[in-house]
Amino acid sequence: MTITRAPCTDAPAIPITRFNHCIFQEDWWLDAVAPGAWRAIEIGGGQDLQARLPYVPSRYPLFTSIRQPFLTQTLGPWYRPQGGKHATELSREHELAKELVSRLPRCDFFSMNFHHAVTNWLPYTWLGFEAVPKVTYVIDRLGTKEQLWDGLKDNIRREIKKAEKRVEVVRSADVDLLVEMNRKTFQRQQMDIPYSPAALRRVDAACVARDARRMYFARDEQQRIHAALYSVSDERCAYYLLGGADPALRTSGAMSLLMWNALLDAAQTSAAFNFEGSVIPGIERFLRAFGGEQKTYMNVRRASWKGNLALAMKRAFGGVGAIRRG
C-alpha cells in the first residue's frame, strides 16, 4: 500500500509506504492475535489518512479494558508525516492525539505499548494518561556477518562457539515443540505461559502465509532439544518474539547460537532487528550483549477506580483475567 500526501506550498510530497510503524499494526497481524475483536480509529481516509490507532477492547461483567494483544510487542498511534517544521509537526500531533483519544470507547483500564518511533507521548499525559518508560534493544541497520559479529560482546561469541560444538540448529515448523520449550522457561520462573497453544498456532499460520516467521531449535546428538526461538519479520524489522530453553541444558550456549542465526537470517530480509526488552536483569543483560542500541518506548496507561482495583488485585493475587495477556 502506498499513500502519498498531496503537494502543498510549504513542503514536498512525502511517499508513505504503510500507515503503521511495525508488523504488529498490520491488519493481518491484528486479525491473527485478536480475531473479530480489534478496532481502529482513523482520522481521514484513503490517501488523506492522517492518523490511526488500532486497539482491542474487552468487556467483562463488571470491567472493561483496552489492552495489548498477546504476542504484540507494541501498538499505539501512527501519524502521517507532513515534512514541515518540527514545532509545527508536534502541534499537529497534539491535535491528532486529542482527536484519537476522544474517539476511544470508555473503559476502566487502558494499557498500550507505543512503538519507540512515537516520541511525542506528552499530549497523552495532558489527557490523563500515565506514560511509563520501557526499554528494548534494536540494531537499526543490519550489516554483514562480520559487522554483526563485531557487535557481539565477547561472552556471547564464546557461547556461540561453544554451542556450535554441542548442538545443531534445526529450522522447523513444530509449534507444539516451541510451546513446550517456552512453557519450560515460564515454569522455571513459576509462571504460566500467557497464551494458549491454539492462539499461537493461529498466529503462526498467518505468519507462514506471508513468509513472516522463522522458528529455530537447537538439538544435540542425543536428539535432546536445548532451546527454541521464534522470530517474526517484514522488510522493515525482524523481532525476537518468544523462546525457551530446557533448564537442565541451559549451559550449552544454545540460545545464544539461535539468536545469532536469527540475526543472520534477518540481515537477508529486514533492515533492522528488535530484541524486545525485559525488566528481568539476567534477560536484559543477555539481549543487550548482541549489540543493539537501547531504545525507550512508552507504556501509556489510564485506569478508573475499577481499573485501579483490578491492578491491586493483580499485585495481590498474581493476575486478573480481565487484564491478562492472551
Mean pLDDT (10-residue bins), the chain, 326 residues: 28 48 95 96 87 93 89 94 90 96 95 95 96 95 96 97 97 93 85 87 96 96 96 96 91 96 96 87 90 95 85 65 31
Q: Look at the chain and report how many structural domains it folds into.
A: 2
Same domain, 39 and 115: yes
- Say if residue 130 is in the same domain as residue 155: no
**261 shares its domain with 147:** yes
In a domain, 288, yes or no: no
- Give me the pLDDT at residue 7, please: 27
pTM assigned to the model: 0.87
Q: What does the pLDDT read at residue 3?
A: 28
Sign (positive/negative) of CA torsion 170, 174, 180, 183? positive
200 Cα distance to chain centroid: 15
> Nearest 5°: phi and psi at 228?
-140, 150
Residues 155 and 122 in one domain: no
**Do residues 18 and 80 share a domain?**
yes
Give residue 318's pLDDT.
Answer: 57
Query: Are 219 and 200 within one domain?
Result: yes
CB 54 within 8 A of CB 38: yes
CATH classification of the domain holding 60: 3.40.630
Look at residues 213, 233, 202, 221 and name the one whose alpha carbon lies nearest to residue 173.
213
75 DSSP assignment = B
Structural domain boundaries, residue 183:
142-270
Question: Do 33 and 54 belong together in one domain?
Answer: yes
Same domain, 77 and 180: no
Same domain, 32 and 129: yes
Is 93 domain-assigned? yes
CATH number at residue 245: 3.40.630.30
Q: Is residue 120 part of a domain?
A: yes
Helices (H), the chain: 27-33, 86-103, 122-126, 145-151, 154-166, 175-188, 197-208, 254-269, 281-288, 305-317
Answer yes or no: do 193 and 236 share one domain.
yes
